[in-house]
Amino acid sequence: MRIAPESPLAPVARGGSITLWVDGQPVVAYAGETLAAALLAAGRRALYRPAGYGEPIRPHGVYCGMGVCFECLVWVEQPRRAETDAPAQDGAGAWLRACVTPAEDGMRVRTRADLPGA
């Protein structure tokens, strides 16, 4: 979670400002934050809608916040592979858990929260 500078929990070393692109819109985040922290701070609580659970399909979002429930899946274009730190091939992407994925400057993320029936 993001901690406000005036919080009694401060001082927290905050990384520099970075910009993510979420569903084509810029989202300002800070280096060291997870995607979930950045998305929640930007007011984006709905991250995807699972298919096959009947109607109405309610959007899912961050639930456990620690990588267990998979409720926070987002599509990340060209994620870096941890073992090589090299970008994946052009056009590639992966469903990643927002709560355990570090935000990176220029990262392109897609949610499925706005897709009807997705």
Residues that bind ligand FES (CB under 6 A): 62-65, 67-72, 97, 99
Tell me: cis bond preceding 26? Omega within 30 of 0 counts. no
- Residue 7 neighbours by CB distance under 10 Å: 10
* Minimal distance, residue 73 CB to ligand FES, in Å: 8
* Minimal distance, residue 91 CB to ligand FES, in Å: 25
Residue 31 CA to residue 116 CA, distance in Å, equals: 32
Q: 103 — phi, psi (to 5°)?
A: -75, 140
β-bridge pairing 17-22 and 108-110: parallel
Cβ closer to ligand FES: 37 or 62?
62
Cβ closer to ligand FES: 10 or 112?
112
* Minimal distance, residue 53 CB to ligand FES, in Å: 17
Cα–Cα separations (whole angstroms), residue 48 to 68, 69, 80, 92:
16, 13, 22, 19
Cβ closer to ligand FES: 32 or 67?
67
Cβ closer to ligand FES: 18 or 101?
101
* Minimal distance, residue 45 CB to ligand FES, in Å: 11
